[in-house]
Chain A
Amino acid sequence: MPDRIITLCYRKIIDISATRPWEKLVFDDTYQEFWMQAQLYNQERRFRSFGELLQHAPGAEQLHFLVSAAARGYLQQLNGVVPDIVNNLGKHFLTFSKFQFEIINSDLLDKSRHQVAINFYADPLVWHETIDNFLLVSAKTEAVGEVLTHLMQLQPYLSIYSLQTPE
Chain B
Amino acid sequence: MERKNFLKSLFVGAISAPAVLAACSEDEAAAVTPSTGTSTGTGGTGTSGSCTVAPTETIGPFPTKVPASYVRSDITDGRTGYKMTAKITITNTSNSCAALAGVLVDIWHCDAEGNYSEYGGTGMQSTNYTNVHFLRGRQTTDANGLVTFTSIFPGWYSGRATHIHVHIYAANGTSLKVTQIAFPEGTGTAVAAVNGYSKGLSGYTYNKSDNVFSDDTAGAEIATVTGSTTAGFELVMNIGVAA
Binding site for B on A (CB under 8 A): 12-13, 17-23, 25, 29, 32-33, 35-36, 39-40, 43, 61-65, 68-70, 72-80, 84, 86-92, 96-102, 119, 121, 132-133, 153-157
Q: How far is the CA of A25 from the CA of B10 in the complex (A)?
A: 17
Determine whether the beta carbon of A101 is less than 8 Å from that of B121.
Answer: yes
- 14 CB-based A-B contacts, threshold 8 Å: A13-B12, A39-B178, A40-B167, A62-B119, A64-B120, A70-B68, A80-B127, A88-B32, A89-B53, A98-B125, A99-B124, A156-B12, A156-B45, A157-B12
Report A-chain residues with C-beta under 8 Å of the C-beta of B49. 133, 153-156
Determine whether the beta carbon of B121 is less than 8 Å from that of A65.
Answer: yes
Q: How far is the CA of A144 from the CA of B65 in the complex (A)?
A: 43
Report A-chain residues with C-beta under 8 Å of the C-beta of B66. 29, 73-74, 77
Interface majority SS on A: helix, strand, loop or mixed? mixed
Between A18, A80, A155, the greatest number of chain B beta carbons within 10 A of the residue's beta carbon is seen for A155
Determine whether the beta carbon of B173 is less than 8 Å from that of A32.
Answer: yes
Q: How far is the CA of A145 from the CA of B124 in the complex (A)?
A: 34
Report A-chain residues with C-beta under 8 Å of the C-beta of B169. 36, 39
Interface size of B by CB at 8 A reads 56
Between B9, B12, B55, B68, the greatest number of chain A beta carbons within 10 A of the residue's beta carbon is seen for B68
Least distance between B129 CB and chain A CB atoms (Å)? 9
Determine whether the beta carbon of B6 is less than 8 Å from that of A78.
Answer: no
Which positions 115-160 of chain B face chain A at CB distance < 8 Å? 117-128, 132-133, 136
Report A-chain residues with C-beta under 8 Å of the C-beta of B45. 133, 154-156
Return the CB mask of B36-78 against A: 1 if under 8 Å, else 0.
1100000001001110111111000111111111100000000
The reply on B35 being an interface residue by CB < 8 A is yes
Determine whether the beta carbon of B53 is less than 8 Å from that of A153.
Answer: yes
Determine whether the beta carbon of B175 is less than 8 Å from that of A98.
Answer: no
Please pick, from B53, B54, B63, the residue contacting A25 in the complex, using a CB distance under 8 A.
B63
Q: How far is the CA of A132 from the CA of B44 in the complex (A)?
A: 9
Q: How far is the CA of A86 from the CA of B10 in the complex (A)?
A: 10
Determine whether the beta carbon of B127 is less than 8 Å from that of A75.
Answer: yes
Determine whether the beta carbon of B11 is less than 8 Å from that of A35.
Answer: no
Report A-chain residues with C-beta under 8 Å of the C-beta of B167. 39-40
Determine whether the beta carbon of B126 is less than 8 Å from that of A20.
Answer: no
Report B-chain residues with C-beta under 8 Å of the C-beta of A19. 5-6, 8-9
Determine whether the beta carbon of B125 is less than 8 Å from that of A156.
Answer: no
Determine whether the beta carbon of B175 is less than 8 Å from that of A39.
Answer: yes
Q: How far is the CA of A154 from the CA of B121 in the complex (A)?
A: 28
Q: How far is the CA of A68 from the CA of B13 in the complex (A)?
A: 23
Determine whether the beta carbon of B33 is less than 8 Å from that of A153.
Answer: yes
Least distance between A61 CB and chain B CB atoms (Å)? 6
Report A-chain residues with C-beta under 8 Å of the C-beta of B50. 155-156
Determine whether the beta carbon of A65 is less than 8 Å from that of B120.
Answer: yes
The reply on B241 being an interface residue by CB < 8 A is no
Least distance between B11 CB and chain A CB atoms (Å)? 7
Report A-chain residues with C-beta under 8 Å of the C-beta of B104. 36
Determine whether the beta carbon of A98 is less than 8 Å from that of B127.
Answer: yes
